[in-house]
Structure 1
Amino acid sequence: MPSKDITLKDIFEEVPHRLSKILSPAPIKELLPTSLPSTELRVDFLARLEDESILHMEFQSFNDTNMPWRMLRYYTAIAEKYKTHNIKQLVVYVGNEKLRMKSSLKIKNLVFKYEILDIRQIDCKILLESQDPVDRIMACLCKVEDERYLIEKLIKTMESMNEEERKDYLLKALTLTELRPNLRIRLTEEVKPMPIVVRPEDIKLSKRKLRKDILYRLGLEEGKKEGEIIGIEKGLLKSAQEMVIAIIEGKLGYVPEEIANRIREIRDVEFLRSLAKKLVSASEDFMQVLATELKIS
């Protein structure tokens, strides 16, 4: 499972105070198990609301043409388990591309509908004004007009945390902003001086299921065998490489092996960040920019 999806599930186990009020049609009464017995299905978020309806949410980072069928399978499984048809379904789209998914399925003898919300319809300032740290981290995915203000709020939020909490919060922010390449570049720059270290033994901790995956993606696993202390800065090279690869995948839908190998050979972090910025802004001349910068034919 992609680390971004794991991070979102982990965040919503804590239920963002203000965001949950925006997404939920009624106050949340209790969280429900996300696994659905008698099936192999597991939903992203399930809760009973105070009006006794059930809210089901899925967080989607790419346009899935099969989404209506997925939501239908979830609906029938939830209805069977809880013996109710009072189910409200919402797909929260967190991807970077334009939302293109359908919110209904119409076939013979069946009309099925659910709601879709592009999280960028929500102004990040609404969540940044919340005192809930979970709201503030989700603001990274919303509509952002002032990146500096958002990053200042995130850093301010971390000031009152202990080292372990601060590290966990920062890694979540870095993971979520893989979906927002421009913001991720700026956030990475701002947190470089922060006195946060990640030790090799942290990778083995099971307190947060997502920690191992995030540390690996940030390249913080280097030196594990030697037992050295590894800081955020040592992961910047791998992070920059993976960011460029992710941007290419987002633009093309795949990454040619030759290009992926070439990017992983680059050891200049500043060049990789510059390349990422150019690729994000490139449109019709995307492949030309890529070929020119990587010096490939």
Structure 2
Amino acid sequence: MSSKDIALKDIFEEVPYRFSKLLSPKPIKELLPTNLPSTELRVDFLAKLQDESILHMEFQSFNDPTMPWRMLRYYTLIAEKYQTHNIKQLLVYVGNKKLRMKSKLKLKNLTFSYEVLDIRQIDCKLFLESSDPMDILLACLCKVEDEDYLIYRIIKTMEGMSEEERKEYFLKALTLTELRPNLRIRFTEEVRHMPIVVRPEDIKLPKKELKKDILYRLGLEEGKQIGLEEGLLRSAQEMVLTLIEGRLGYVPEGVSDKIRSVKDREFLRALAKRLVVAEDVLKVLKEELGI
């Protein structure tokens, strides 16, 4: 499981108030266990509403062509467990690439459908004034028009926390903003002087997956305690490569080595901004990198 998925599950276990209120058709009466009977399957969010119907939500960070089958499997298991067909299913897409997942299955003897929501359709202003710290984090994934104010609200929220709470909140924010590369670069630049130190054991991932994780790329090494400042350059390099791959679907030959040889963070930040809006990504790379 990726660090993004872990962070999402942690956040939604705490039921951000405004998000659940926004997406739920009725007030939530109680949270239900997320494990499903006779299987090892778990759903991301399950609740009973005031009208006794069931709300099931899944949060997906990439396009999965098997999603309709997964949602059907979840539906039948939920219906079996609670002996009801009054179930509302919602797939919330939080990824950075274009949403391409289908919302229905149409077979010879079965038609099945559920709702799909791209979280980028939601205005982040709906969450920014919430008193719930998790709502502020969710704003990172929504439609953002004022990045400066969003980052200000995240930092302001951390100021009132204990050292351990602040570190945990920071880890979640950093991981979630990996889904929004340009925002993440801005965020790491703004918080680089905050007294936050993370260690490899802070990242709840198997060792094999740790080296692929964003926090490891920030400069964490096993047995070594490193602050944020040392990892900013590597972070900027990786975010530019992520943007290139997101826009083109691949990283052209030689570009990876070229980007990792750049030692100027301001140049990388300016390049990232150009790549986000560029109509011709290859042209930008040729102009800026001489490739």
Same fold by TM-score greater than 0.5: yes
Size of the aligned set, in residue pairs, is 287
Cα offsets for 1:177-201 (capped at 9, x unmatched)? 1222222222122112222223x3x
Do 2:18 and 2:135's aligned partners in 1 also have CA atoms closer than 8 Å? Answer: yes
Report runs of 4+ in structure 1 exceeding 4 Å deviation. Answer: 210-215
- How many angstroms apart in 1 are the aligned matches of 2:78 and 2:254? 45
Do 1:55 and 1:89's aligned partners in 2 also have CA atoms closer than 8 Å? Answer: yes
- How many angstroms apart in 1 are the aligned matches of 2:34 and 2:286? 45
1:150 correspondence with 2:161: no
1:219 is aligned with what amino acid?
Answer: L
Aligned to 1:135, the other structure's residue is in SS state helix
The residue number in structure 2 matching 1:230 is 226
2:272 is aligned with what amino acid?
Answer: A
Deviation at 1:50, TM superposition (A): 2.8
1:42-121 matched pairs, under 5 angstroms: 42-121=42-121
- How many angstroms apart in 1 are the aligned matches of 2:78 and 2:141? 28
Deviation at 1:265, TM superposition (A): 4.0
Aligned to 1:116, the other structure's residue is in SS state strand
Flag the 1:88–1:217 CA change in 2: closer, same or farther, 3 A.
farther
2:283 is aligned with what amino acid?
Answer: Q
Flag the 1:72–1:216 CA change in 2: closer, same or farther, 3 A.
same
1:139 is aligned with what amino acid?
Answer: A
Deviation at 1:217, TM superposition (A): 3.7
2:15 is aligned with what amino acid?
Answer: V
The residue number in structure 1 matching 2:283 is 288
Stretch moving more, 154-163 or 52-61: 52-61
Deviation at 1:260, TM superposition (A): 3.3
The residue number in structure 2 matching 1:249 is 245
Do 1:123 and 1:144's aligned partners in 2 also have CA atoms closer than 8 Å? Answer: yes
Deviation at 1:210, TM superposition (A): 6.3
- How many angstroms apart in 2 are the aligned matches of 1:36 and 1:263? 46
What RMSD in Å do the two structures reach over aligned CA positions? 2.5
1:127 correspondence with 2:122: no
Deviation at 1:107, TM superposition (A): 2.0
Stretch moving more, 261-270 or 245-254: 261-270
Aligned to 1:98, the other structure's residue is in SS state coil
The residue number in structure 1 matching 2:201 is 204
The residue number in structure 2 matching 1:21 is 21
1:260 correspondence with 2:256: yes
Aligned to 1:89, the other structure's residue is in SS state strand
Deviation at 1:287, TM superposition (A): 2.1
- How many angstroms apart in 2 are the aligned matches of 1:255 and 1:33? 42
Deviation at 1:12, TM superposition (A): 0.6
- Structure 2: tracts of 5 or more residues without a match: none
Q: TM-score, normalised by structure 1?
A: 0.86
Q: TM-score, normalised by structure 2?
A: 0.88
